[in-house]
Amino acid sequence: MKKFLRSVEYQIKNGLWKLFGLFAEKDVPLAPLPLDFSKISKVLVVRPDRLGDVVLSTPIYESLKKSFPHLKITAMVNPIQGGILEDNPNLDKIILMRRRRFWRAIRDSRKENFDLAITLNKKFSATATFFTLCSKSKMKAGYLHSQNPWKYNIQLSIDGPPCHEIENNLALLRHMGVPKIISQPRIYFNEKENQKIAGIINSEKSERPLLLVKTGTRIAEWGWPWEKFQAVMQHILKNKIANVWLINGPGEETGLKSQIAEMEFKPRLLPLMKTKELALLIQQCDLLFCNHTGIMHLASAVEKPACVIFKHGEIERWGPRHPASVVLDDRHKKTLTPETAIDTLQKILKN
């Protein structure tokens, strides 16, 4: 039912945008390319999506800043994702898009008088397009969709071979003539975060590798069953292959405590922590084992390997980026066994 409602919502938004386009101004001039960034001082990057999307957008900020240090760069993201961009030296400002007070984000963006606004979504996003248009930026750049050609001065075709979302984002910069392209996503940490995570790590020193496990997913059917995760963790702990710490997500603690209580060999259940703190903890571990969720992109951003189970989505577009990472594809036959996962984890940990 939820899937059906999401589909209906998407179709309604698309229909409204197409209708709006019939009456919109059609004479917006296309900008000459490559873009002359010496005449640009303020840039807005709009990415109103989930955790993984925002993490994978970070190469945009570094590429722009390294290419043109004079630029003042602002990111516009959802409030829940804003924290992951804090302390990023390539950003000058973060605007939060609060659903109930969306006019504040619009007001803040219009105050800045941006020279260029970039919408990163290769798949059309009514929300991103709306906020980009409301920013009143002098120039607007984004992918060319049937819903938006009437307002973008810089347009990139959505046609082309499948590629990673990082490359989808960076293709817009290449199209505009940005010379220094950095493809590695990055998260930056402050001293308080370093001290907190150091305390957690030092509280349980061991010679064994450290395996972090995240069993939950945003949508239940997108996740591997708990019983299979449990079998993997029991084997790893029983055979002393690694220490296992279980990541605790919002609203998961009670259920996880109950499930752990039934296990003979028990993993350590971590306290609920902020996203950046979790990213720093992943940086200090040896391997992350999880479903296809935004957390796997945290591993990419801190250059740690991940073993990821894909039960949905495009692996080419959303897979982990670390060269030692492994994807276990369980999207079609759904026959992935704990034994296969155990063998894979052991091979990664040996390296």
Pairing verdict, β 139-144 and 42-46: unpaired
The number of domains in the chain is: 2
Task: Return the C-alpha torsion angle 284, 289, 291, 294, nearest 10.
Answer: 10
User: pLDDT at position 20, please?
Assistant: 61
Query: Is the pLDDT assigned to residue 21 strictly greater than 70?
Result: no
Domain extent for 221: 191-350
Q: Are residues 139 and 237 in the same domain?
A: no
> 102-106, 260-264, 345-349: which range is least confident on average?
102-106
pLDDT in tens, 135-194: 999 999 999 987 776 678 999 999 988 999 999 999 999 999 999 999 999 999 999 999
Same domain? 327 vs 225 = yes
Summary mean pLDDT of the chain: 92
DSSP string for 146-200: TTSTTT-SEEEES-S----HHHHHHHHHHHHT-------------HHHHHHHHHH
Q: For position 261, which CATH number holds? A: 3.40.50.2000
Position 22 pLDDT exceeds 60? no
Q: pLDDT digit string (tens) for 305-332?
A: 999 999 999 999 999 999 999 999 999 8
- Alpha-carbon dihedral sign for residues 24, 122, 1, 52: negative
Does a structural domain hold residue 259? yes
Same domain, 79 and 219: no
Instruction: Say if residue 200 is in the same domain as residue 343.
Output: yes
- Do 52 and 121 lie in one domain? The reply is yes
- Distance CA(146)–CA(143), nearest Å, equals 10
How many other CB atoms sit within 10 Å of the CB of residue 30?
Answer: 10
Rounded CA separation 214/291 (Å) = 7
pLDDT of 15 higher than 80: no
- Look at residue 28 in the predicted model and tell me its pLDDT: 79
pLDDT at residue 24 greater than cutoff 60? no
| 274 CB-near residues (< 8 Å, 6+ apart) | 83
Within this chain, do residues 122 and 218 fall inside the same structural domain, yes or no?
no
Q: Can you give the pTM of this predicted structure?
A: 0.91
The predicted-structure confidence for 103-145, as pLDDT tens digits, reads as follows 899 999 999 999 999 999 998 888 898 899 899 999 999 999 8
Residue type, position 161, single letter: P
Q: Are residues 249 and 121 in the same domain?
A: no
At residue 13, does pLDDT exceed 80?
no
